[in-house]
Amino acid sequence: MRLATTFAGTILAMCLLGSCSGGGNIAAQVTGPLICQQLNNSLTQQALALAIQHTMVGQATPADLATIMTSAASLRVMAGQAGEPLKSRLTDAATAAEGVGDGQVTPGDTQAVADAFTRLGEEVGKTCNPPVR
Amino acid sequence: MQSARSIARHASLLVATVLSMLGLAVPAQAGPDTTLCRSSTTRATIPDTFPLQACFDGNKLVVVNPLGFPVIVSVTGNGVGQAVRVPKLGGTIPSAVLSILGPHTPNLVPPGYQIAVPIGAGEAKVSLSTTPDLTRGYAVIKIIWNYLPVGESAKAIADLVSELTDVSEQHTNCRNTNNNWGDIGCDALLYRNITFAVARAGIQGGVAGSLKTLIDSAAWSNAATQDALKARNGVSAFTIKAAPAPQAPKLPPAQSNQPPPSNLPVVTNNPPSPAPNHTQPLPPPPVTAPAPTPPSRTITVQNKYLVGASGMAEDSIPAYLSSRMEPRCRVNGCMLDGTEMASGDTITVTCYAHGAAMTNQNQSISDDDNNPNRADSSLWYYGTRSGQRGFISEVYITSQHRGGLGLPVC
């Protein structure tokens, strides 16, 4: 385990430095930890969580709505880098976030956020070991 | 490395901060309080660190809750009577709502309330406890109370609180089994469930957001509640010793050789003894105590409701005796005909019991919430009027005649 982690970390560091040109199996190996690092960006997660909360209780500010849309865009970027099934979960979460990003929250929007982010959380938990939290 | 004292200080500060954020009172002014009764320390000494204000007068334990959350005061032992609960320190949650909170017992003492518990001659053990559900239910009711539609039934409120408690539990489980991304989903689910619950209860307004904020912090507040009792390093239990056994009255020494005062021979069912050359002494005549008079008290009706911050007005609908301890007997068929009473009328009562919680305030407005004449109680007297026997809530009785008056429990 220690060896695998070190190997993956080495590959990841190389990729981050721009020297990673690999694909196939090696790319799949590094995608997990990279995505976990990005998903661990607590600032993105916390800002999105707070903005969605404000939206649901009808207290969203324009800044909250902007945060939601920016965060949704980040989720789509991460989806582009992730493999399945995390890719789909990230895409669904981005779509759900965009659904409340207009400030008009319907029961369906709320349900979509609940479903998409709960499933995203489950998938992140499986992908990132140990769990993000 | 921090010392234990330093850690305790930081813990206390944390608890105080948490309670403050939740709008709860920081524990203060507790322990023995001789203003509550004519204190007697013969059988019990209230610990200085007891978290509630308490006083024992030798026959009755009086306890006031100055904390920011409800507490159950358990008193067990031979001869312990039924607790009677009344508002004391500006307690503002109506009794009707308190009965929803879970344990249907007057031993549940919400913030700002007092209970008085008759203590018999036997040993009695006093202990404090609270539960997360109780704390949560109280917090939820505080929020929803002002949003409830006029005339909302107690059952509807209880259903709502029960549903919100379930929702809260689901939310706690959801967050406990998820990471930060999943928590966003948990929060959305919580809000959806709360919105549905309050809509089913017919509540409108911004209460859902307030409830979500509350429930988001429910797990925290419960922990804080438990910690609050510990943080004071308080003693949450004590014992009231049994009263000393009464000394037997000194009787004159037995004079068995003396003839019975009546000089009558002893009559037995046994055949005569062949050599009964002496008469046996008679046992002392039985001492028959006079038949105890059933206790009774004459109480005065106060058929009034609160008006504004300090007033009262006569209710145009007369008070009456009922066959059940519940409201609206006039329309529900439990009113005893011919027992109508107005303020100033008197009635002789012989015992009391606890039934539906009643209030003399108008629950659809808040102007009278702090009216000093406010009465909230589940105590009902049992008495006779016009040849009919039935119950009347003590909230319709003058204040000096409330509290059970030392009568037995029916």
What value does the mean pLDDT take over residues A70-82?
88
Q: What is the pLDDT of residue B22?
A: 37
Task: Report the C-alpha gap between A118 and A92 in whole angstroms.
Answer: 11
Q: Is B184 on the interface with A (CB under 8 A)?
A: yes
| pLDDT at residue A28 tops 70 | no
Tell me how many residue pairs between chain A and chain B have CB atoms under 8 A apart. 87
With contact defined as beta carbons under 8 Å apart, do A132 and B181 qualify?
A: yes
Inter-chain contact B209–A57, Cβ cutoff 8 Å?
yes
- Give chain B positions within 8 Å (CB) of A113: 184-185, 188
pLDDT at residue B233, as a whole number: 56
- Using H for helix, E for strand and C for coil, what is the string for chain B? CCCHHHHHHHHHHHHHHHHHHCCCCCCCCCEECCCCCCCCCCCCCCCCCCCCEEEECCCEEEEECCCCCCEEEEEEECCCCCCEEEECCCCCCCHHHHHHHCCCCCCEECCCEEEEEECCCCCEEEEEECCHHHHHHHHHHHHHHHHCCCCCCHHHHHHHHHHHHHHHHHHHHHHHCCCHHHHHHHHHHHHHHHHHHHHHCCCCCCHHHHHHHHHHCHHHHHHHHHHHHHHCCCCCEEEECCCCCCCCCCCCCCCCCCCCCCCCCCCCCCCCCCCCCCCCCCCCCCCCCCCCCCCCEEEEECCEEEECCCEEEECCCCECCECCCCCCHHHHCCECCCCCECCCCEEEEEEEEEEEEEECCCCCCCCCCCCCCCCEEEEEEEEEECCEEEEEEHHHECHHHCCCCCCCEC
State how far the Cα of B348 lies from the Cα of B300, in Å rounded to an integer. Answer: 9
Cross-strand partners of B390:
B383
- Paired with B246 in beta bridges are none
Beta pairing partners, B71: B109
Binned at pLDDT 50, 70 and 90, residue A93 comes out as very high
Residue B95 CA to residue B355 CA, distance in Å, equals 11
> Model-level pTM?
0.44
Which residues does A118 contact at the CB level (< 8 Å), separation at least 6? Answer: B174, B178, B182, B185, B186, B189
**DSSP 8-class letter at A103:** S
Q: Do A114 and B182 touch (CB under 8 A)?
A: no
Question: Do strands B297-300 and B346-359 pair parallel, antiparallel, or not at all (unpaired)?
Answer: antiparallel
pLDDT in tens, chain B (410 residues): 333 333 333 333 333 333 333 333 334 467 899 999 999 988 999 998 888 999 999 999 999 988 777 788 999 988 888 888 877 766 555 554 555 555 556 788 887 888 999 998 899 999 988 766 666 667 667 667 666 665 556 566 667 777 877 787 788 788 877 788 888 999 888 888 888 887 777 776 666 776 776 666 654 455 445 545 554 556 788 999 998 876 554 444 444 444 433 333 333 333 333 443 444 444 444 444 555 566 888 899 998 888 888 888 888 778 999 988 877 787 777 888 888 898 988 898 998 888 777 788 776 566 777 888 888 888 889 998 888 889 999 999 998 899 888 888 88
Contact by Cβ (8 Å): B194, B144: no
Nearest Cα to Cα of residue B211 among B167, B263, B151: B167
CA distance B164 to B159: 9
| From A39, A110, A111, residue closest to B181, measured CB to CB | A39
What is the reported pLDDT for B279?
40
- Cβ(B329)–Cβ(B335) under 8 Å? yes
Neighboring chain A residues of B178 at a CB cutoff of 8 Å: 118, 121-122, 125
User: In the predicted model, is pLDDT for residue A126 greater than 70?
Assistant: yes
Cβ burial, residue B263 (10 Å; 0-12/13-18/19+)? exposed
Closest Cβ opposite residue A118 in set B178, B180, B191: B178
HSE-CB for A72 with a 13 A CA cutoff = 21
Whether residue B182 and residue A122 make contact (CB cut-off 8 A), yes or no, is yes
Write b or e for each residue in A75-91: b if 16 or more Cβ atoms lie within 10 A of its Cβ, otherwise e: bbebbeebeeebbebbb
Which tops the pLDDT comparison, B284 or A123?
A123
Residue B154 or residue A93, greater confidence = A93
Q: Does A133 touch chain B (CB under 8 A)?
A: yes
Question: What pLDDT shows up at residue B119?
Answer: 92
Residue B95 exposure: Cα atoms within 13 Å on the Cβ side? 28
- Alpha-carbon torsion angle B114, B118, B121, B125, nearest 10: -40
User: Which of A42, A107, A118 is the closest to B185 by Cβ?
Assistant: A118
